[in-house]
Homo-oligomer: A and B are copies of this chain.
Amino acid sequence: MKIELLLILPLLTIFFNCSNTTTNNYEIQSPNSSNRIVIKLNDAVPEYSVYHNDVPVITPSKLGIALRSQPDFSQGLEITDAVQSSFDETWEQPWGVQRLIRNHYNELRLTLVTTAEPRRKLVVVFRAFDDGVAFRYEFPEQGHLNDFVIMDELTEFNLPADNESWWIGAYQWNRYEYLYEHTPVSSVGKSHTPFTMQTADGLCLSIHEAALTDYASMTLENRGGNSLKCDLVPWAEGDKVRAAAPHVSPWRTIQIADKPGDLITSYLILNLNEPSRITDTNWIQPGKYVGIWWGMHIGTFTWGSGDKHGANNANVKRYIDFAAEHGFPGVLVEGWNTGWDGDWVANGNIFSFTEAHPDFDLPELSRYAAEKGVRIIGHHETSKGIGNYETQVEAAFQLYQDYGINTVKTGYVGHGQNIQRYENGEPTDHLEWHHGQYMVNHYRKVTELAARYGIMLDVHEPIKDTGIRRTWPNLMTREGARGQEFNAWSEDGGNSPDHTTTIPFTRCLAGPFDFTPGIFDLHFTEAGRPANRVSTTLAKQLALYLTIYSPLHMAADLPENYTGQPAFEFIKMVPTDWERTEVLNAAISQYLIIARRDRHSADWFLGSITDESPRNFQVALTFLEPGRTYRATIYADGPHADWDTNPYAVTIFEQEVTSATVLSLKLAPGGGQAIRFTPTD
């Protein structure tokens, strides 16, 4: 629903010297003037700089595009046109961390033309927001630019100082599944985005992209010192982007925040995406789920058939019963289809997406689920066999639709650049990176097809989120980082205590993350893997439902591990759709205290987590409605709780509070706290 729209107006309040041909300087400021972009031609090469309250954030950095077999848009350019405008709109998300979002920016469109004949045109569009800046390249339709291949995007992000940074390496496994590095920018190699930084003065920055569509994913390369450069993930043959004019690049975004929490509540990425292409979004419903999944990771179940086959009728019914009893709308079932008995890691083409194991009766189970008010969540693991999946995906969605399944988890397991390309109806021997243009387009194609079949998606091993959920809100959540399962089997001992305090400021700036929290048996002794465990306290597992946002949030542990656990009540009650979000206190990779108001009630929830350090906080509950009394149900680390030595100690208690209350929070090492606030009047 569109709430408010100011028409695009000439903006008189910003400084704008389009006609100043002597310096060739152009400038655009954000509505509150805090952020400013300056663009100039330096010896006919375009450069931009960014200032925050007149402090340089980005020093002069080149812009440009290198084309294949055509003169580049990198030098010999002049500016022939500059158009300014302003935009202010508040729009409503169908679901998310914040129902109403204001999209307020000033825009400058610069037309760059090559001085050499044929005089070809490139438009660079800059937008200045109060929470950051963005720009993108547009390739207008023109006589001398039809099909083209981008060999390199020359965009630089030069920094005035060697900022602290948090990042994950690109071109490794290439599935974003790493613990974050914490180094000065000068020690960065090649990094994925979001790329988060903090300056010596405490200013917080995140470089990312928005609206990644029919283009290669941007990674960042450090080329020495404090200079980062856009490094597009290539096609197998080395091309970066294959396109035809008119075409646009994704937005290059720099979020700018005076404190870490403001990065989390910046909606700049969403604002740079197009409005929803799905008109009726009523069928798109966030919710929690349980499922046959964690058991595979800890060795209780198998995906393939046999004695431990998880997806057998009796076990699925047991999970459906559990979901119905505790109010979870979804039951994920992995390993239901044929293919898992073969060497699917080596060959994803052996999967069928419509044929079930003999002990999985889809018609009966979907009937049984419906009777209990629950839905099965479907599962498609491609294991990099893209051709095989593309030939089957429509029939597979049709099958699910026929049986009332409206959510599907997809997976793209595989290391390195091992996506098998699909061309002219056949798989080829070409392997593609997960994150090049080919896969960007594949993921989008599947999203659009899913929308046609009324299916919500939870994409594992995805392309990173760049706000596409605004345009395709059936793309609910993604993995795209180290999730809970790394605790089960990773050789480095799982996720360190500061992993969950880092991702809210890095991966989660991109969008929802299906981390699958809620493990209660932190040592999952059944699996017989003594070295592996979950490195949090139990209370922190609860807090993760707040500190990580996912519209589809899993209660990941085995049903039997929730039995008789009072803390399970918190998982049952925590919402997945929010009216608004406020960050109360935060330090990147150290701690986070976040409050969110339920979208469908007056309840507030608070989540707080810490890294290995124990911490005490005084939190003023000013976010609560003044004058009302709330009952706070508090799930706190218990006496002597410690993620390492005493993780299960949890204290659950109640307390009356108002907006004037200052609450004491005591977090154990690797601990957390989760609170529900319910009005009592």
Interface residues of chain A, those whose CB is within 8 Å of chain B, are 43-45, 62, 66, 68-69, 71-72, 74-76, 116-117, 151-152, 154, 156, 171-174, 190, 223, 229, 231-240, 343, 346, 415-418, 428-431, 433
Contact A71 B69 (CB under 8 A): no
- On chain B, the residues within 8 Å of A173 by CB distance are 429
> How distant is the Cα of A190 from the Cα of B236 in the complex, in angstroms?
13
What residue of chain B has the Cβ atom nearest to residue A69's Cβ? B229
Select A431's contact among B45, B154, B418, B428, beta carbons within 8 Å. Answer: B418
A-B pairs with beta carbons under 8 Å apart, 19 shown: A62-B69, A66-B72, A66-B151, A69-B152, A69-B154, A71-B74, A75-B76, A75-B116, A172-B429, A173-B429, A190-B237, A231-B237, A234-B234, A234-B236, A235-B238, A236-B416, A238-B239, A417-B431, A418-B431
Contact B75 A71 (CB under 8 A): yes
What residue of chain B has the Cβ atom nearest to residue A236's Cβ? B417
> How distant is the Cα of A234 from the Cα of B431 in the complex, in angstroms?
13
Q: How far is the CB of A91 from chain B (nearest CB, A)?
A: 37
Contact B76 A74 (CB under 8 A): no
Say how many copies of this protein the assembly contains: 2
Q: A172-B428, A236-B433 are in contact. List 7 more A-B contacts (CB 8 A).
A: A66-B152, A71-B74, A72-B72, A75-B75, A171-B430, A234-B236, A236-B416
Contact A72 B74 (CB under 8 A): yes
> How distant is the Cα of A236 from the Cα of B430 in the complex, in angstroms?
12
What residue of chain B has the Cβ atom nearest to residue A240's Cβ? B238
Select A238's contact among B43, B74, B233, B343, beta carbons within 8 Å. Answer: B233
- On chain B, the residues within 8 Å of A75 by CB distance are 71, 75-76, 116
Contact A234 B231 (CB under 8 A): no
> How distant is the Cα of A305 from the Cα of B138 in the complex, in angstroms?
61
- On chain B, the residues within 8 Å of A154 by CB distance are 69
> How distant is the Cα of A45 from the Cα of B71 in the complex, in angstroms?
10
- On chain B, the residues within 8 Å of A430 by CB distance are 171, 416-417
> How distant is the Cα of A83 from the Cα of B75 in the complex, in angstroms?
30
> How distant is the Cα of A231 from the Cα of B415 in the complex, in angstroms?
27
The A contact surface, by secondary structure, is: loop
- On chain B, the residues within 8 Å of A431 by CB distance are 416-418, 431
- On chain B, the residues within 8 Å of A66 by CB distance are 66, 68, 72, 151-152
What residue of chain B has the Cβ atom nearest to residue A216's Cβ? B238
> How distant is the Cα of A529 from the Cα of B104 in the complex, in angstroms?
71
Complex A-B, nearest 7 residue pairs according to Cβ-Cβ distance, in ascending order: A234-B238, A416-B429, A415-B429, A151-B151, A151-B152, A238-B238, A346-B346
Contact B171 A236 (CB under 8 A): yes
- On chain B, the residues within 8 Å of A238 by CB distance are 232-235, 238-240
What residue of chain B has the Cβ atom nearest to residue A173's Cβ? B429
> How distant is the Cα of A236 from the Cα of B233 in the complex, in angstroms?
9
> How distant is the Cα of A237 from the Cα of B43 in the complex, in angstroms?
30
> How distant is the Cα of A190 from the Cα of B237 in the complex, in angstroms?
10
What residue of chain B has the Cβ atom nearest to residue A45's Cβ? B71
Contact B68 A152 (CB under 8 A): yes
> How distant is the Cα of A74 from the Cα of B72 in the complex, in angstroms?
9
> How distant is the Cα of A238 from the Cα of B242 in the complex, in angstroms?
13
What residue of chain B has the Cβ atom nearest to residue A227's Cβ? B69
What residue of chain B has the Cβ atom nearest to residue A76's Cβ? B76
What residue of chain B has the Cβ atom nearest to residue A233's Cβ? B238
> How distant is the Cα of A417 from the Cα of B223 in the complex, in angstroms?
27
- On chain B, the residues within 8 Å of A171 by CB distance are 236-237, 430
- On chain B, the residues within 8 Å of A68 by CB distance are 66, 152
A223, A232, A234, most chain B CB atoms within 10 A: A234
- On chain B, the residues within 8 Å of A237 by CB distance are 171, 190, 231, 233-234
> How distant is the Cα of A253 from the Cα of B223 in the complex, in angstroms?
34
- On chain B, the residues within 8 Å of A239 by CB distance are 238
> How distant is the Cα of A428 from the Cα of B190 in the complex, in angstroms?
15
Contact A429 B174 (CB under 8 A): yes
Contact B43 A117 (CB under 8 A): yes
- On chain B, the residues within 8 Å of A433 by CB distance are 236
Q: How far is the CB of A175 from chain B (nearest CB, A)?
A: 10
> How distant is the Cα of A231 from the Cα of B239 in the complex, in angstroms?
10
- On chain B, the residues within 8 Å of A236 by CB distance are 171, 234, 416-417, 433
- On chain B, the residues within 8 Å of A116 by CB distance are 43-44, 75
> How distant is the Cα of A88 from the Cα of B272 in the complex, in angstroms?
66
Q: How far is the CB of A149 from chain B (nearest CB, A)?
A: 9
Q: How far is the CB of A190 from chain B (nearest CB, A)?
A: 8
- On chain B, the residues within 8 Å of A62 by CB distance are 69
